[in-house]
Amino acid sequence: MDLEKKEKKYTKAQLALVIAFCAVIGLCFILFLALPKQAGKLSPLEFRVLQDHPIKGKDAAALREDIVKGDLSSNVDSFLEDHFPARKFFVAANAYYLRATGRNAVQPVIMGRGDRLYDAPIDLRLKFYSYLEENEGCLEKFAADNGLEYGIVIAPNSALTSVSDLPKLHLEYPDAGIVDKLRQDTSAFVPDLVELYSSMEDDERYFYRTDHHWTMDGAHLCYRALCGILGVTPVEKSEFTVEEYEFYGSYYRKSGLWLTSPDKLEIWRSPKLDNMTVSIGPEVRATVHKGVYDEEKLKENEIDKYAAYLYSNNGLTVIENPEGNGEALMIIKDSYGNSIAPLFAMNYSTVIMIDTRGNYYQDAALPMPSELVAKYGVTKLLVIMGTESIVSNSQLIYLR
């Protein structure tokens, strides 16, 4: 009797489920082996390099080193994740499922009304975000040592400029407190851009829907406000010819919310901008361009069209305007500075841009920033960064 019970342990429905499960796993395995892979290549949808093959093309010594370091297992995991059959579908399905089940507000990218995407607020409690005071000290010392009048311009999270479009439940953004601290702890002028953008009627057009950067209208509004402090006359939008290009930004690429409609990136054209000279890198081997836009990045098949502004991010970029006012302006920046710097170049004869993030300023041939101040006769400095850059990177130690 007991033996008969054991023999009937699995029902037909259960057996069918097991068989179906094994069939799906087997099919996925076959598809994984058979489908072509983009190993080590750039994913146009996510704009990141997909994991290369963890074993193929490596000799025994390289494999042994990967095993000892523990890299092989993690590389295998990443390779399987990046090349899983129908991965794009499952990533998108998961993103929309999390949103539909009420977990939108705690995702790295939040979806608001009108197809607007927002970065989650930074968490200042994390140890990673502990560099604000160090960066403040570096800026104060550099400005004092070089006799510079300076300003710190913090581009806020776009969520703070269109609060009405945020989901009702969302975490708090600490940007205002960071601006207040900078005002208290430094001698710099620190404009409140949240107040500036929020005071405008059409606040949605100052930041992209799918990207963290400000639009050209957003950059121009900030530029006009700073011109009053710097003592120069702003160039109005009516003096430019505007071109539009379709693009998807950083929020779109990392969110999985791939049904979101594209943004419009604007390029503001002017004969003066076309006549400017842009030098990138140390003087001894600088790459020199005519005009402030990288036209290659504006082609239809290019993914990162924001990189068209001043040829993307570089440790040292010098813009020279033969029709400028004879003065030089230095800008310490992250990527927010790339779109606003050409506007300042409409006024100044020379704009010196320094980006100390990551490896950008680690080239031994690059001059010290104080040497550039002396060479170009700089008297005014702007620090233009997003909130995350000023608090999460010990980047300003290169200011010496």
Each domain of the chain, given as residue ranges in start order, spans 123-398
| pLDDT tens-place string over residues 290-331 | 999 999 999 988 888 999 999 999 999 999 999 999 999 999
What pLDDT shows up at residue 95? 87
Q: In the predicted model, what is the mean pLDDT of residues 67-78?
A: 72
Give the C-alpha separation, 121 to 171, whole Å: 7
What pLDDT shows up at residue 126? 67
pLDDT level of residue 129 (50, 70, 90 thresholds)? low
What pLDDT shows up at residue 192? 93
* pLDDT surpassing 90 at residue 19: no
Q: Residue 196 corresponds to which amino acid?
A: L
pLDDT level of residue 86 (50, 70, 90 thresholds)? confident
What pLDDT shows up at residue 170? 81
Give me the phi and psi of 215, to 5 degrees please.
-75, 175
Average pLDDT, the chain: 87
| pLDDT tens-place string over residues 255-289 | 989 899 999 999 999 999 999 999 999 988 899 99
Tokens, residue 215: 């639009």
Comparing 53-57, 108-112, 214-218, 328-332, the range with the smallest average pLDDT is 53-57
Q: Residue 195 corresponds to which amino acid?
A: E
Answer yes or no: are the C-beta atoms of 195 and 237 closer than 8 Å: no
* pLDDT surpassing 60 at residue 237: yes
Give the C-alpha separation, 334 to 148, whole Å: 20
* pLDDT surpassing 80 at residue 24: no
- pLDDT higher at 219 or 83: 219
Tokens, residue 246: 């379709």
pTM across the whole model:
0.85
Answer yes or no: are the C-beta atoms of 147 and 107 closer than 8 Å: no
Closest CA to 205 of 114, 83, 86, 93: 114
- pLDDT higher at 54 or 345: 345
- pLDDT higher at 382 or 23: 382
- pLDDT higher at 9 or 172: 172
Closest CA to 260 of 188, 207, 209, 324: 209
Residue the block writes with tokens 């069918």:
16
Dihedral class, residue 111 (left if φ above 0, else alpha if ψ from -120 to 50, else beta): beta
Give me the phi and psi of 310, to 5 degrees please.
55, 35
